[in-house]
Amino acid sequence: MKTFLKTLATSSAGLALVAQAAWAAELEFYFPVAVGGDAAATIEGLTQAYMDENSDVTISAIYTGSYADTTTRAITAARGGNPPHLAILSAVDVFMFIEEDIIEPWDAHLSDSEIESWIGGFYDAFRANTLIDGQTWGIPFQRSTPVMYYNREAFAAAGLDPETPPATWEELVEAGRALTLRDDSGRVTQWGLRIPSSGFPYWLFQGLTTANGLELMNAEGTEVYFDRPEAVEALEYLVSLSQEHEIMPPGIIDWGATPRAFLDGESAIVWTTTGNFSNIRANATFDFGVAMLPAGTQRGAPTGGGDFFLFSGHNDDETRAAIDFVKWATAPDQAAAWSIATGYVAPRPDIWETETMRAYVELAPGALVARDQLEYAVAEFSTYENARVRQILNDNLAAAIVGEKTPAQAMADAQAAADAVLAAYR
């Protein structure tokens, strides 16, 4: 946290800061942590820095566990008549929050110029999940895309060019074969590749379907396209990495253990969130690179991560103070410090133009990969009844990965079950 506050203070020196808020308020703010490192302390530092500048506003920043834990707590509090003022929640759950009638669109509290200059300043790819029927329900903050981390030293040892990571599915298989090492007994001592299939399996699967030319759902959250040929092909490719090519561990691969597997040299290439970049950069004992996800028929990746959501049920002063805090937190200097501290993608182009961010990417050019990948990014998977539909997909992905179903059968079953859930919303 000390490093974060120092960065924040340095970036703000000599610049005009947001004016003292005109609202006296006590706010409650829920936030999750879904990456390694010390993100909780960083959030607390950010909140304290705002209160130092705005002495009439008190913010209780409450760490509430995972995204799922935070969502459950926020909904429970809102149903009980004691909602937080703000929460960072997964952007994909927006349809649920709207159905629960516990959040408010930000536009209703902003002038036309604020909507244009502030909300309009975020990357379109990060706005896609929570811009619904022309209304903005979430403000991008801790946003991400999956990226590919690779061990440059392992590449060199395998005779691969450390400056040329695999850019296509075919190249990924070829590199994986060269990077998978076995001892004399045949035991694998280094896997070529690791794509997690627990935690957020649908998300990394989207990294394959998007790269194969398919978006898995419509923008209205009422239809899914699990049984399309492109989706089946993507799952066949994923299964082949362990079962046919033997370059990836068999069975379900743990999400949470993936950064450590990379840092320990267990896997030479891993797919995980850019939100792990700072953690990997701080702890890697070897030279590593960051690359976009390889292309199937095209480049592509989903966005991910959390937005600020504004909860209903509060007076005007509290709501205005909550909005002021979020505007401050997403302003270039503060957002640059947050991105550097965590590895999340700075969600606005103007953040990348700050002196702090320019200096940072000179030292850590890998941070630019996720930003550049936004050109090819799509909204993270999101529908009505999202938890149920997502679990249907996750369960069928797992069934194919462990060999209980063929990829075609798994995706057909997922489609039928999802259609049954979503029929009521069409």
Query: Of 44, 91, 49, which is closest to residue 63 (Cα–Cα)?
Result: 44
pLDDT grade for 279, boundaries at 50, 70 and 90: confident
Share the mean pLDDT of the chain: 93
Q: d(Cα 390, Cα 382) in Å, to the nearest integer?
A: 8
Cα distances (Å, whole numbers) of residue 83 to 30, 101, 325, 373: 10, 12, 17, 36
pLDDT at residue 34, as a whole number:
62
**Tens-digit pLDDT profile for residues 217-245:** 999 999 999 999 999 999 999 999 999 99
Range in 3-17, 181-195, 243-257, 335-349 with the lowest mean pLDDT: 3-17
What residues pair up with 58 in beta bridges, in sequence order?
A: 26
Per-residue model confidence (pLDDT) at position 343: 82
* pLDDT tens-place string over residues 55-106: 999 999 999 988 889 999 999 999 999 999 999 999 999 999 999 999 999 9
In this prediction, residue 39 carries a pLDDT of: 72
Question: How does pLDDT run across 173-230, given as a tens digit for each residue?
Answer: 999 999 999 999 999 999 999 999 998 999 999 999 999 999 999 999 999 999 999 9
Strands of 122-232, DSSP E? 131-132, 135-136, 139-144, 146-151, 181-182, 188-190
pLDDT given for residue 175 in this prediction? 98
Give the global pTM: 0.88
Domains located in the chain, CATH noted: 2-144+304-378 (3.40.190.10), 146-302+384-425 (3.40.190.10)
- pLDDT at residue 16 above 50? no
Mean pLDDT, residues 142-155 taken together: 96
Q: Is the pLDDT at 33 greater than 80, yes or no?
A: no
Q: What are 283-304's pLDDT values in tens digits?
A: 999 999 999 999 999 999 999 9
Which of 5-19, 30-44, 101-115, 382-396 has the lowest average pLDDT? 5-19
Instruction: Return the number of other C-beta atoms located less than 10 Å from residue 119's C-beta.
Output: 18
Produce one character per residue of 5-41: b if its CB has 16 or more CB atoms within 10 Å, e if not. Answer: bebbeebbeeeeebeebebebebbbbbbbbbbbbbeb
Q: Is 9's pLDDT higher than 70?
A: no
